[in-house]
Structure 1
Amino acid sequence: MARPIWNGVLSFGLLNVPISVMSGERKIDLHFRMLDSRDKKPIRYERVNADTGEEVPWKSIVKAFEYKKGSYVVIEPDDFKSAAPESHESIDIEAFVDAGSIAPAFYEKPYVLIPGKKAEKGYILLRDTLRKTARIGIGRVVIRTREYLCAVFPQGDALVMNLLRYSQEIVDVDDYKLPSAKPEGAKISKAEFEMAEKLVESMSSEWKPGDFKDEFRERLGKVIEKRVKAKDVTPTIEDESEVPEDATTNVVDFMSLLKKSLASNKRTPAKASAKKKTAAGKKESKPKKAATSKRKAAAHKKTKTARKRA
């Protein structure tokens, strides 16, 4: 089961509702490694000094802001700490606005809010009140070290929180040259509008998200599956030590990916359990293996001695 981002409270007015913040999205992208075409080995990326070309260890790297070309000001860890918001686990609602007043461009990332123990009453109270009044709660939330603007609204039986972009992050459509309400030369007749309306009506249907698939990913997945079955693959690296420490580690088990429709290289509980079982088996058989090794060593020593005498 997914783990919460954090546990805290959803506050509006003097009411506090204990909640858990859960991720509301699932990444299903196909991840690829970059290989050297000559020997099909993974490519390693190194951190190098732009002038000397020498590799720079992590401990010698600092962050800096380039305020003009070639001129930098170093930002110390304490500077980041002083600018960071208080890391408190709460969603603080500051205002309630009309549900249709926020343009789609403002919505960035969804989360699902799960009520804590004995918090159902406050959760239902806010959820159903927002639905009845057609309002959305606007507030602030700290995730990791950054403070975000967020919207809280009902979706089915859930309260959903969506991070919002700030207005300065969105390009004003007026920055582009767009046709006005009555563009010169665009003489659209009444019949054309009626025909366009009929076309829209004929193509109208209910919104069913499940009807829309990532067809490119599915087609590419079939290509990958076909290549794997045809054995058109590179040799597997058995020893993990051969992979450079700082190399990209998003190696994907494509067969597992295609079966489960997940683009993740993390071990599933079943695999982790199997690994533990295998490790336990090896541990139990270790004394027996050690005894066998001793007998082989003794026999080898005896043979060697006999050869010397001969």
Structure 2
Amino acid sequence: MARPIWTGTLSFGLLNVPVSLMSGERKVDLSFRMLDSRDRKPIRYERVNAETGEEVPWKDVVKAFEYDKGSYVVIEEQDIKSAAPESHETVEVETFVDAGMIPPQFFEKPYVLVPAKKAEKGYVLLRETLKATKQVGIARVVIRTREYLAAVMPQDDALLLMLLRYPQELVDPADYKLPEGKPSTYRITAKEMDMAKQLIGSMSGKWVPDDYHDEFRARLEAVIKKKMKSKGALAKAEDNEPEAAEDTATNVVDFMSLLQKSIASNKRTPAKKGAAKKTARKTAKKKAPVKKAPVKKKTATAAGKSAKRRTG
């Protein structure tokens, strides 16, 4: 059973609800080890002095901040502790805001708040009140040694704690060169807008998260299993990346034509489970323009038989 990150209280106004903070995500990345290709032994990374080349033991390692090139100020553990927030056991809600007021780029990481025994009433009271008012609580919480900004929000039977990024951690989109102005500035006609809306309508569906899977990870797992069975023999992943269509959208493409083709293809997103990739490939094969008639590829067996006939 999963263990809590910490236990403490969820505080809003004068109300305190004992809770446990549980992880709301699951790591599924495949991790790799670095090996020496000569004997397949793991490589060990060492702490080495940049000047002498000698290994530095952990007891002699200190943290420092480089304030100028080659100039450092050493930071002791007590310095870090003195700057750390005092409260480590409270999710303290400071204000409530409309749920739609927080831009998506602020959300960083999910946690689940689980009520302690006999603390269900306060938990449910906050959850249902947030649902009724369509608001979320903006709070501060200390996890390990860092203070985070967070949003407390309801989802079904749960209260989620969503860690938020601070404004200084985000890049302002205005820093980049983006197309400004009205659609007419880019010669987008009312008919093209209508066709685009029709396309979106034809592709609209319900959000079903289980319909989406990390297909790269699944293919990589298959390669790993294949290599395990062949005792390390070279196995090559199949290249299933579809070729780009010749009429890939750019600023000079006939948008009306593309929109009409998209609507005519009657594609819908998302597709049913396990069928999304196959449908996309079939559609790409049917719709992608080709200059020459496709030539059937001979299998290795067929090619071998043909060669025998010619030599015979």
- How far has the Cα of 1:69 moved from its partner? 0.3
- The one-letter code sitting in structure 2 at the alignment partner of 1:68 is D
Structure-2 separation of matches of 1:149 and 1:14: 20
2:227 paired with 1:227? yes
- The one-letter code sitting in structure 1 at the alignment partner of 2:102 is I
Structure-2 separation of matches of 1:97 and 1:181: 31
SS at match of 1:179: coil
TM-score, length-normalised on structure 2? Answer: 0.73
Q: Which deviations, in whole Å up to 9, do the C-alpha atoms of 1:9-47 show, x marking residues without a partner?
A: 101010111111100000000000011111111111110
Structure-1 separation of matches of 2:187 and 2:161: 44
SS at match of 1:231: coil
Q: Which deviations, in whole Å up to 9, do the C-alpha atoms of 1:165-185 show, x marking residues without a partner?
A: 000100111111111132675
Q: Which deviations, in whole Å up to 9, do the C-alpha atoms of 1:70-110 show, x marking residues without a partner?
A: 01111111111111111431100000001011111101111
- The one-letter code sitting in structure 2 at the alignment partner of 1:31 is S
SS at match of 1:117: coil
Structure-1 separation of matches of 2:149 and 2:203: 36
Partner residue in 2 for 1:102: 102
Structure-1 separation of matches of 2:184 and 2:154: 44
- The one-letter code sitting in structure 1 at the alignment partner of 2:108 is E
Structure-1 separation of matches of 2:148 and 2:177: 31
1:270-285 alignment runs, 5 A limit: none
Partner residue in 2 for 1:263: none
1:30-109 alignment runs, 5 A limit: 30-109=30-109
CA contact (8 A) 1:87 1:142 kept: yes
More helix by percentage = 1
2:205 paired with 1:176? no
Structure-1 separation of matches of 2:167 and 2:218: 36
Structure-2 separation of matches of 1:78 and 1:188: 61
Partner residue in 1 for 2:293: none
Partner residue in 2 for 1:251: none
Structure-2 separation of matches of 1:108 and 1:185: 35
Partner residue in 2 for 1:218: 218
Structure-2 separation of matches of 1:55 and 1:7: 40
- The two structures, once aligned, show a CA RMSD in angstroms of 1.1
CA contact (8 A) 2:6 2:89 kept: yes
1:203-214 alignment runs, 5 A limit: 203-214=203-214
1:259-298 alignment runs, 5 A limit: none
2:16 paired with 1:4? no
Q: Which deviations, in whole Å up to 9, do the C-alpha atoms of 1:219-253 show, x marking residues without a partner?
A: 000010111111227xxxxxxxxxxxxxxxxxxxx
- The one-letter code sitting in structure 2 at the alignment partner of 1:168 is Q
Partner residue in 1 for 2:116: 116
Structure 2 segments unaligned to the other structure (5+ residues)? 234-312
Partner residue in 2 for 1:308: none
Partner residue in 2 for 1:20: 20
Structure 1 segments unaligned to the other structure (5+ residues)? 234-310
- The one-letter code sitting in structure 1 at the alignment partner of 2:222 is K
Structure-2 separation of matches of 1:13 and 1:186: 51
Report the identity percentage: 69
SS at match of 1:192: helix
2:158 paired with 1:158? yes
**Higher RCO (CA-CA < 8 Å; seq separation 6+):** 1
SS at match of 2:186: coil
Structure-1 separation of matches of 2:62 and 2:184: 57
CA contact (8 A) 2:88 2:143 kept: no
Structure-2 separation of matches of 1:88 and 1:66: 29
- The one-letter code sitting in structure 2 at the alignment partner of 1:146 is R
Partner residue in 2 for 1:305: none
CA contact (8 A) 1:87 1:145 kept: no
SS at match of 2:112: strand
- The one-letter code sitting in structure 2 at the alignment partner of 1:152 is V
SS at match of 1:16: strand
Partner residue in 2 for 1:196: 196
